[in-house]
């Protein structure tokens, strides 16, 4: 059984469903049931007896675009664990790019960031190169950058605190830096932070990292360790936007790509590309009356 939940344009919902149903039937995967959820009335749930998940997602994507969507091979339940990327997922910026602006290097470093997030560059090498370019930048630039540049994504606080209230363990895991991630986690309500550490000497960045690198493998391992701690029967949700998020997205019970790069979107069970982060709560059928705002 495949179950899809999606949010799309109400004005074209019926015609889009007809288009998707016909395409699915042509593949031999007829829609068994299509209904609007009771608690979140703008969420359409579609059930099929079977089908290839990647092809089903592609059909639904084409029919309902733009949409917020989650596809599951079984009943969709509220997760017991959220592991999320930070930059361009929980906040609207790439911290290292904004920090680079204080050094007059934003365009140069942002180009490296984009290629790394697209999966065109090795993440570790790209990170070391970018951090090296920040050598001698005053540490005070971090606090100024946080205050002036870093803003949460719409719905981020509501998503995290609502899941916390329902007993979900929330972890912020980032290839960025604790200097940014710790304040962001406190602001949004994350219970744990995993990130990189910038080297600092005499109040200036050294151009090096002061601890082991948090890369895609560490992100995946963090999810796996947290799930082992929680135990069998619990469900995990991973969210991110770039290539280094793919392993944890694929390892989670539910992997959601947030306004993501194409490779990350293709690897995920679903995506948010229409609404804000509260769409995740809707896809898990959590009533708005229960949201922590």
| DSSP code string of 100-130 | HHTTT-HHHHHHHHHHHHTTSS-HHHHHHHH
Query: What's residue 20's pLDDT?
Result: 98
Strand partners, 33: 47
Contacts of 193 by beta carbon, 8 Å cutoff, 6+ apart: 171, 172, 173, 174, 178, 181, 182, 185
Instruction: Given the residues 18, 26, 68, 85, select the one marked as catalytic.
Output: 85
**How many angstroms separate the Cα of 126 from the Cα of each of 83, 95, 264?**
23, 14, 18
| pLDDT values of the chain reduced to their tens digit, one per residue, 293 residues | 999 999 999 999 999 999 999 999 999 999 999 999 988 889 999 999 999 999 999 999 999 999 999 999 999 999 999 999 999 999 999 999 999 998 899 999 999 999 999 999 889 999 999 999 999 999 999 999 999 999 999 999 999 999 999 999 999 999 999 999 999 999 999 999 999 999 999 999 999 999 999 999 999 999 999 999 998 889 999 999 999 999 999 999 999 999 999 999 999 999 999 999 999 999 999 999 999 99
HSE value, Cβ hemisphere, 13 Å, CA-based, for 106: 10
Look at strands 236-240 and 81-84 and give their pairing.
Answer: parallel
| Domain ranges across the chain | 1-76, 77-293
Residue 87 annotated among the catalytic residues of the structure: yes
Burial class (CB in 10 A: 0-12, 13-18, 19+), 38: exposed
Pairing, β 44-48 against β 2-7: antiparallel
Residue 85 is a catalytic residue: yes
Other CB atoms within 10 Å distance of the CB of residue 89: 24
What is the predicted pLDDT for the residue at 241?
Answer: 97
Which top CATH class is 1-76? alpha beta
Widest CA span in the chain: 67
Reduced to 3 DSSP states, what percent helix, strand and coil does the chain have, rounded to the nearest 5? 45, 25, 35
From the candidates 9, 38, 62, 87, give the one annotated as an active-site residue. Answer: 87
pLDDT at 76: 97
Comparing CA positions, the residue from 263, 262, 245, 256 lying closest to residue 279 is 256
Residues whose CB is less than 8 angstroms from the CB of residue 205 and which lie 6 or more positions away in sequence, other chains included: 131, 134, 135, 136, 137, 138, 139, 198, 199
One fold for 1-76 and 77-293: no
* Beta carbons of 5 and 76 less than 8 angstroms apart: yes
d(CA 250, CA 221): 12
Check whether domain 77-293 has CATH 3.40.50.1000, yes or no: yes
Non-local (6+) Cβ contacts of 26 within 8 A are: none
Report the pLDDT value the prediction gives residue 149, as an integer from 0 to 100: 95
For 217-227, b/e burial (b = at least 16 CB within 10 A) is ebbbbbbbebb
Relative to beta strand 169-177, strand 81-84 is parallel
């Amino acid at each position: 059984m495949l179950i899809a939940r999606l949010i799309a344009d109400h004005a074209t919902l019926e015609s889009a469903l007809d288009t998707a149903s016909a395409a699915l039937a042509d593949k031999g995967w007829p829609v068994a049931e299509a209904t609007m959820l009771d608690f979140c009335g703008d969420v359409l749930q579609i059930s099929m007896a079977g089908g290839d998940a990647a092809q089903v997602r592609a059909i639904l994507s084409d029919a309902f675009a733009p949409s917020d969507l989650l596809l599951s091979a079984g009943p969709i339940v509220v997760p017991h664990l959220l592991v999320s990327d930070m930059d361009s997922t929980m906040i609207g910026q790439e911290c290292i790019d904004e920090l680079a602006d204080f050094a007059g290097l934003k365009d140069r470093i942002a180009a490296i960031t984009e290629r790394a997030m697209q999966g065109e560059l090795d993440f570790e090498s790209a990170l070391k190169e970018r951090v090296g370019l920040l050598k001698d930048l005053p540490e005070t630039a971090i606090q100024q950058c946080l205050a002036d540049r870093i803003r949460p994504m719409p719905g981020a606080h509501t998503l995290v605190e609502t899941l916390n209230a329902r007993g979900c363990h929330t972890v912020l895991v980032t290839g960025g830096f604790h200097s940014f991630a710790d304040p962001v986690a406190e602001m949004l309500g994350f219970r744990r932070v995993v990130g990189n550490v910038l080297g600092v000497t005499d109040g200036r960045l050294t151009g090096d990292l002061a601890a082991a690198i948090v890369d895609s493998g560490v992100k995946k391992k963090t999810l796996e360790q947290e799930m082992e701690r929680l135990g069998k029967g619990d469900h995990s949700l991973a969210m991110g936007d770039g290539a280094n998020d793919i392993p944890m997205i694929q390892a989670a019970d539910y992997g959601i790509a947030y306004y993501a790069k194409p490779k990350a979107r293709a690897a995920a069970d679903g995506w948010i590309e229409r609404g804000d982060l509260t769409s995740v709560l809707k896809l898990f059928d959590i009533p708005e009356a229960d949201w922590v705002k």
